Amino acid sequence: MGKSVISHVIPRTYQDSVRLMRISEKLSNLDTIQRSFVAMGTDANKRVLEQIDLLTDAVNEAGANDLIFVIEADSKDAAKGALVQAEALLAESEKKTNSGSKMEVLPKTFEQAYKGFTDANMLFVSVPGPYAALEASKALNANMNVMLFSDNVSLEDELSLKKLATEKGLLLMGPGCGTAVINGIALGFANVLNRGPVGIVGASGTGLQELTTLLDRGGVGVSQVIGVGGRDLSDTIGGIMMKKGISLLSSDPATELIVLISKPPAIAVTQTILKDVLSSGKPVVVNFLGEDEAREQDGILFTETIEDTAEAVLSLIHENSGPFLATNSDTLIKMANNEREQLADGQKYIRGLFAGGSLCDEAIDVLRKYFQGVYSNVSVSKKWALNNGRISKKHSCIDMGEEEFTQSRPHPMIDPSLRQDRILMEATDPSVAVILLDIVIGYGAHDNPTASLAKIIRQAKAEAAANKRYLSVVTHVCGSEKDPQGLRRQEESLCNAGALVLPTNAQAAKIAAAIVGAELN
């Protein structure tokens, strides 16, 4: 059957990237649609379209402020129908936004918004990277804090913006800041949390979500959650915003305890960060992902995993040694033995497929304690790096939120379909014993991710059984019961599909290791 590609350009019509990703997701779920691309006409987006052979002449002539639609479908009529539906979805989304706004028409520029919302003190920036720095600088010069959700901002621009913010005593969270909770207001991908005594500064989006939701399970709320962007602790940036975050939390009367979470900082930056921590005058727990062991140094608690971090915080707050989240080792071993006994000969590998980058990193750190190495498409030594994240090898953990998977489609936290296809593919490999998954819920995420995932898990297990194999599926849901999707509802859906559901990401990785024969410590 032939395929038809049509495109449409709406000049000078900026739309938020998250809104456009949701429209792309809905179009991709239509049976007659092969691929859809709804985005702004930036050079970067045009390059992506060219790489996937969807760049039309009309789109090639579009400008960065033009909205572009590209639809590949089974027929021209199907493509035209999808385009009409896309424009209707966009109009519906704008109508909903306007109905909740105190302005009759959405502002088209920062200047218009600034005049219309005179009591606002923060700008959320989600425009294409080349223009994000300009909008952020406008806000900073107007004495507004900024959450810079956009990525593809140059390191030079990031440094300049953060220096300007520091001079003005403001926050510049990002670039690529996906999660924050400021004065009880969730920004980006975040969860519904109670207010409480713990203030957190992090350069890790889903790491922040995992930590805050685990604290929520333990009955502890947060005062502030400040994201700083993944490059803040590099040598170039020097931890400018993490230091600012520490300063703000140190002087915040609602914050009794400070937590820092990040991938390992540059060595020189670590020393300056710890110096600020020591002068905060408050208890501090630090999790630099990848730490070899938990320790206490100069009164600072250093932890290994995000789960360990949550346990340390809960112990300090409750003045009790816990554990609060850990599952009894005997229980984990019994669960693992029950799964392992059903495996066929030759089933020996774990395939981790993650929506959250920090959760992928944490799983790799846990698994490395039991195996020589784990292959991945992210942050590993050259020896264990996968040249192509679409092809697994032995024990593998794949971050499916990386650019190689999201260039022409929404993030897996929004659209789970690509990961679900990958689950079915991995399930056909006779050497695979365990598929390890994270499910992230909350604001911005898919409204019911396990509804379709449960069907895929059942299908994968059934196909394995038809080939005289058993497929173990181990999962963890990162979220709170107060999230729109409902933590318990999502967990029950997975359990009913035959998956193991663990209360933390670290425990999920740990039991996956035990299923393939590792001895738990």
Question: How does pLDDT run across 400-429, given as a tens digit for each residue?
Answer: 998 888 766 778 998 898 999 999 999 999
Are 160 and 153 in contact by the 8 Å Cβ rule? The answer is no
Under a CB-based contact definition with an 8 Å cutoff, are residues 424 and 459 in contact?
A: yes
Residues 91, 27 contacting (CB under 8 angstroms): no
**Interatomic CA distance for residues 509 and 494, integer angstroms:** 17
Domain boundary among 78, 99, 120: 99
pLDDT tens digit sequence for 485-515: 999 999 999 999 999 999 999 999 999 999 9
Kindly report whether the global pTM for this prediction surpasses the value 0.95.
no
By the 10 Å C-beta count (0-12 exposed, 13-18 middle, 19+ buried), 520 is classed as middle
Same domain for 245 and 343?
A: no
The CATH number of whichever domain residue 186 belongs to comes to: 3.40.50.261
**Does position 103 have pLDDT exceeding 50, yes or no?**
no
Asked whether residue 141 is assigned to any structural domain, the reply reads no
Asked if the model's pLDDT at residue 93 lies above 80, the reply is no
Instruction: Please determine, for residue 1, whether its predicted confidence score (pLDDT) is greater than 50.
Output: no
pLDDT above 90 (res 104):
no
Low-confidence winner among 180-184, 227-231, 415-419 (lowest mean pLDDT): 415-419
State whether 279 and 350 are in the same domain: no
d(CA 220, CA 213): 9
- Rounded Cα–Cα distance for residues 448 and 455 (Å): 13
pLDDT in tens, 120-132: 999 999 887 778 9
| End-to-end CA gap in the chain | 55
What's the whole-number mean pLDDT along residues 91-116?
A: 69
* Domain total in the chain: 3
Confidence at residue 328, expressed as pLDDT on a 0 to 100 scale: 86
pLDDT band at 117 (very low <50, low <70, confident <90, very high): confident
Task: Please check the confidence at residue 305 and state whether its pLDDT lies above 50.
Answer: yes
Question: What are the tens digits of pLDDT across the range 253-300?
Answer: 999 999 999 988 888 999 999 999 999 999 999 999 877 778 888 889
Point out the least confidently predicted range of 2-11, 191-200, 367-376: 2-11
pLDDT in tens, 151-169: 889 999 999 999 999 999 9
What is the percent of the chain where pLDDT is above 70? 96
As given in the structure block, the two tokens for residue 474 are 């181990």
Peptide bond connecting 484 to the previous residue in cis, omega within 30 degrees of 0: no
Is 42 part of a structural domain of the chain? yes
Looking at residue 155, its pLDDT comes to: 95
Instruction: Reply yes or no on whether the pLDDT at 364 is more than 50.
Output: yes
Residues facing 125 on adjacent strands: 148
CATH value at residue 70: 3.30.70.1130
User: Which class for 308: exposed (0-12), middle (13-18), buried (19 or more C-beta within 10 A)?
Assistant: buried
Which pLDDT belongs to residue 89?
A: 86
**Which residues does 501 contact at the CB level (< 8 Å), separation at least 6?**
475, 476, 477, 491, 494, 495
Mean pLDDT of 308-330: 90
Count CB-CB contacts under 10 A for residue 275: 11
Q: Are strands 67-73 and 4-10 parallel, antiparallel or unpaired?
A: antiparallel
Q: Which domain holds residue 261?
A: 177-318
Q: What is the pLDDT of residue 307?
A: 95
Give the span between the Cα atoms of 415 and 419, in whole angstroms.
Answer: 9
Q: Which of 57, 77, 99 is the last residue of a domain?
A: 99
CA distances from 39 to 49, 64, 83, 338 (A): 11, 10, 13, 47
Q: Which of helix, strand or coil describes residue 167?
A: helix
The verdict on residue 297 lying in a domain is yes
For residue 99, name the pLDDT band (cuts at 50, 70, 90). low
For the chain, the average pLDDT equals 91
Q: List CB contacts of 430: < 8 A, sequence separation 6 or more.
A: 344, 346, 347, 467, 469
Task: Using the Cα atoms of residue 160, residue 135, residue 87 and residue 83 in order, give the sign of their dihedral.
Answer: negative
Q: Of 283 and 3, which is predicted with more confidence?
A: 283
Examine the domain organization and report whether 95 and 31 are in the same domain.
yes
**Based on the domain organization, do 501 and 352 belong to the same domain?**
yes
Last residue of a domain, one of 38, 69, 99: 99
Within this chain, do residues 232 and 367 fall inside the same structural domain, yes or no?
no
Is there a domain that residue 146 lies in? Answer: no
> Under 8 Å CB-to-CB from 484, ≥6 apart: which residues?
192, 441, 442, 443, 447
Q: pLDDT tens digit string along 445-481?
A: 999 999 999 999 999 999 999 999 999 999 999 999 9
C-alpha to C-alpha distance for 48 and 407, rounded to whole angstroms: 6
Tally of CB atoms within 10 A around 468? 8
Mean pLDDT (whole number) for 321-338: 89
